Amino acid sequence: MTRAAARPQGGHELLLLEGTREFFPALIAAMDAAQTLVHFETYIFDFTGSGAELAEALLRAARRGVQTCVAVDGLGTGTVPAEWQQRFTEAGLHWRVYSPVNALALLLPTRWRRLHRKLCVVDGHVAFCGGINVLDDFHDPSWGRLEAPRLDFAVRVTGPLVADAQQTMALLWRRLQAVHDLRRREPLQAVQDLLRDGGQRGAGAPPGPSGARAALLLRDNLRHRKRIERAYLKAIGAAHREVVIANAYFIPGRKLRNALVRAAQRGVRVQLLLQGRYEYFMQYHASRPVYGLLMDAGVEIHEYAPSFLHAKVAVIDGHWATVGSSNLDPLSLLLAREANVVVEDKAFAQQLRERLLRAMREEGRRMEPTHHGRRPWLQRCKENLAMFVMRLALFVTRKRY
């Protein structure tokens, strides 16, 4: 069992990064300093604006002989522009696609499983984890130019969990490489790669008594099916004073709803920062039927107004925090590959808490129970339709939520 399944341990240095304006420079600096390996995973890789700057950093690393491996999701990223494909090939950059999609593939529930985590390891020494795609903060592929930046977070980490990130990324890469080799009719090499050990440990700092306590939590369809959800449930269940959650696609299942309600009923202040702008039909409308239940129990709901909310973070009692890729919805918690960093450190938690509370205070709109109860019948119809679509999808995948 890897430390990704263990409790947080000490010896970590953490840096909270907000948006691509902080995340990309830190990532590019690490890539430009790389000597042996850049291993990168993302759901969306978009080449607009600052996304192209990150792609250039990957090219620079590959050209100077650094092993540069990039894995993207077939649905989230789609087809890479021909110009970039050629440049990647000429530089020697290794690019693999997780579960390529077509019209027929989308009809198969097993192909709905996506690579949604955002991870990067450089030289086995530093790791990045969060919810930020390679997507300019002021650009959206569906909605175009944004007036305000998308709100999202990532964390830069050095310490023991870097080895866990490298190991899990190496294992997935070997599977993708095996599929790639099979398609190129190189079955012997593919089998050898597939059966090889899951990856060598990186050169992350060893555990130590100092530094923040942290752990990498994974969600997949094999050994870690409910790891992230259980971490949320445990932390909320142990809360004494405060629960602060910011989540883009918030469609909590029964266990999570009950945990939030019980926390509020025992006097814990529960504050949620949720999506206030329409982005996707099901995720936007299916979340709203549960608002009334939560607000009746005393949960505060704030909707982020300036732009799209894409964060998947939480702070509990000012010392427990998580930053990652996992939404609190069925797709993330039942189907997608996700990665979250869980932190037990007052300084880090306080920094994230202050940013979330400021967003609620200055950039959010608090939802009032009476206003929510008087929403128009057409809105309720959309909510019921979205909930029906979600439940139908879960029925087809034979998942319970």
Q: Looking at residue 29, what is its pLDDT? A: 98
Task: Please answer whether residues 169 and 41 qualify as being in contact, where contact means their C-beta atoms are separated by less than 8 angstroms.
Answer: yes
DSSP string, 170-239: HHHHHHHHHHHHHHTT-HHHHHHHHHS-S-----PPPP-SSSEEEEEEEE-SSS-SSHHHHHHHHHHHT-
Q: Count of residues for the chain?
A: 401
Distance separating alpha carbons of residues 121 and 366, to the nearest angstrom:
38
Q: What percent of the chain has pLDDT over 70?
A: 90
Residues 190-209 have pLDDT tens digits of 434 433 433 343 444 444 55
Residue 340's contacts (CB-CB under 8 Å, 6 or more residues apart) are 129, 216, 217, 219, 228, 231, 312, 322, 323, 324, 325, 326
> What is the SS3 assignment for 14?
strand
CA-atom Rg of the chain in angstroms:
21
pLDDT tens digit sequence for 234-253: 999 999 999 999 999 999 99
CA nearest neighbour of 357 among 232, 244, 240, 263: 244
Question: How many other C-beta atoms are found inside a 10 Å radius of the C-beta of residue 109?
Answer: 15
> How many percent of the chain have pLDDT more than 90?
75
Does residue 294 carry a pLDDT above 70? Answer: yes
E strand segments, 2-143: 9-18, 37-42, 67-73, 94-98, 118-122, 126-130, 139-140
Dihedral sign of CA atoms 211, 217, 218, 224 in order? positive
CB 58 within 8 A of CB 28: no
Sign of CA dihedral 375, 378, 382, 387: positive
Residue numbers annotated as active site: 116, 118, 123, 310, 312, 317
pLDDT digits (tens, 9 = 90+) for 211-237: 899 999 999 887 788 999 999 999 999
Nearest to 102 by CA among 79, 133, 71: 79
pLDDT tens digits along 343-367: 999 999 999 999 999 999 999 999 9
Residues 89 and 91: their CA atoms lie apart, in Å, by 5
Position 4 scores a pLDDT of 45
Residue 298 is given by DSSP the state T
Task: Give the model's pLDDT for residue 185.
Answer: 55
Q: Which DSSP letter does residue 115 get?
A: B
Q: What pLDDT shows up at residue 184?
A: 64
pLDDT of amino acid 5 = 44
- Dist CA 12 CA 353 (whole Å): 20
What are residue 304's phi and psi, to 5 degrees? -75, 125
Distance CA 201, CA 160 (A): 10
**CA-CA distance, 348 to 323, in Å (whole number)?**
11
Instruction: Name the pLDDT band for 16 (thresholds 50, 70, 90).
Output: very high
**Coil, strand or helix: which one is 249?**
coil
Domains identified in the chain and CATH numbers: 3-195 (3.30.870.10), 216-397 (3.30.870.10)
pLDDT the model gives residue 103? 67
Tens of pLDDT, residues 99-152: 988 767 667 777 778 999 999 999 999 999 999 999 999 999 999 999 999 999
pTM of the model: 0.91
pLDDT at 200: 41
Give the per-residue pLDDT at 122: 98
Q: Are 342 and 314 in contact (CB under 8 A)?
A: no
Report DSSP letters for 327-381, one per residue.
Answer: -SSHIIIIISBEEEEEEE-HHHHHHHHHHHHHHHHHHEEEPPHHHHHT--HHHHH
Q: 334-345: per-residue pLDDT in tens?
A: 889 999 999 999
Q: Would you tell me the crossing angle of helices 50-63 and 19-33 to the nearest 10 degrees? A: 10
pLDDT tens per residue, range 20-65:
999 999 999 999 999 999 999 999 999 999 999 999 999 999 999 9
Express each pLDDT in 66-92 by its tens digit. 999 999 999 999 899 999 999 999 999
pLDDT attached to residue 210 = 65
